[in-house]
A and B are shown apart, each in its own frame.
Chain A
Amino acid sequence: MTAPLDHDDIIELVREPIDALPLIRHVRAPEDGAIVTFDGFVRNQSHDRATLYLAYEAYESMALTKMREIAAALHEKHRIHRVAIVHRLGRLEIGETSVLIAVSAPHRAAAFDACRFAIDTLKRTVPIWKKEYFEDGAVWADGELPPAPVATPRAKPAS
């Protein structure tokens, strides 16, 4: 169902705390000269309300597919070497990492561009949802509606 990963990338959904160092070590190679990492972690407030904790859930099979597509797009668009994209699910406390992205490349510009593209695309297209828990209740966070095909192309009837 899912295409095998080329490039020795790491694409994962996890329920345990994310340890950045092994991921950064994994993408690092002698032929590279730069690694850019993005560490997204839980903020202690949302719209001026104090956040207690967050809970993330995902459509896991599709989320992994979409994360692999992002990695493939990075390799296609940028001169990079390896990618790690790891997102955590379940309950996360303030300050804990929810997503870690690491991109290695021979030169820094490609690594910066690719890392930015990866997190921006993840936030727009990967089916993951977060619920924010406050003192007085919980709400699903506002999100972005992923772009979807408007209509299915159909064969034109023979005229």
Chain B
Amino acid sequence: MPPVSQTVRVKVLFFGRLKDVVGQSEESLDLSDASTIEQLFALYAGRTPELAKYRSSVVASRNQEFASWDSLLHSGDEVAFLPPVSGG
């Protein structure tokens, strides 16, 4: 049986300077197939090439927990891309 392609709907958030770079803070996105956080970031870097240069100074979260770049996304996930934090 061929693998069934499923739509994965995720909510994507950008903060701080990343929000300025991509020009939006929040988007709901339908991914056509199982994707990782890395692939999601690459998708945005494809739209906004300047974003790629921030890759090494970004951490990602999935459902409000820091997540590795190889995390697989599931429908309903909330993913955020976070620049270095500067609270306090």
> Interface residues, chain A, CB within 8 Å of chain B?
40, 56-59, 61-63, 65, 87, 98-99, 119, 122-131, 140-152
Query: Is the beta-carbon distance between B64 and A143 smaller than 8 angstroms?
Result: no
What band does the interface of chain B fall in when counting residues whose beta carbon is under 8 Å from A?
20 to 34
B86 to chain A, nearest CB (A): 3
CB contacts (< 8 Å) of B82 on chain A: these are 59, 127, 146
Q: Which of A129, A142, A144, A149 contacts B66 (CB 8 A)?
A: A149
B15 to chain A, nearest CB (A): 6
**In this assembly, does B35 line the interface, its C-beta being within 8 Å of a C-beta of chain A?**
no
A123 CA to B86 CA, complexed, in Å: 6
CB contacts (< 8 Å) of B83 on chain A: these are 129, 140, 143
**In this assembly, does B6 line the interface, its C-beta being within 8 Å of a C-beta of chain A?**
no
27 contacts between A and B (CB under 8 A): A57-B16, A58-B87, A59-B13, A59-B64, A62-B64, A63-B87, A87-B87, A87-B88, A119-B88, A123-B86, A123-B88, A127-B15, A127-B80, A127-B87, A128-B87, A128-B88, A129-B15, A129-B16, A130-B86, A130-B87, A131-B16, A140-B17, A142-B84, A143-B84, A146-B85, A148-B60, A151-B70
**Top 10 A-B residue pairs of the complex, sorted by shortest distance between their CB atoms:** A128-B87, A143-B84, A143-B86, A129-B16, A148-B66, A62-B64, A141-B86, A123-B88, A149-B68, A148-B59
CB contacts (< 8 Å) of A143 on chain B: these are 83-86
By beta carbon, the residue of chain A nearest B80 is A59
Query: Is the beta-carbon distance between B70 and A152 smaller than 8 angstroms?
Result: yes
Interface of A is mostly: mixed
A150 to chain B, nearest CB (A): 6
Known: A127-B15, A140-B16, A145-B57. A152 touches B68 (CB 8 A): yes
Known: A127-B61, A151-B70. A142 touches B86 (CB 8 A): yes
Query: Is the beta-carbon distance between A152 and B71 smaller than 8 angstroms?
Result: yes
B83 to chain A, nearest CB (A): 7
By beta carbon, the residue of chain A nearest B59 is A148
**In this assembly, does B67 line the interface, its C-beta being within 8 Å of a C-beta of chain A?**
yes
Which residues of B45-82 are within 8 A (CB) of A?
Answer: 57, 59-61, 64-68, 70-72, 80, 82
A146 CA to B13 CA, complexed, in Å: 17
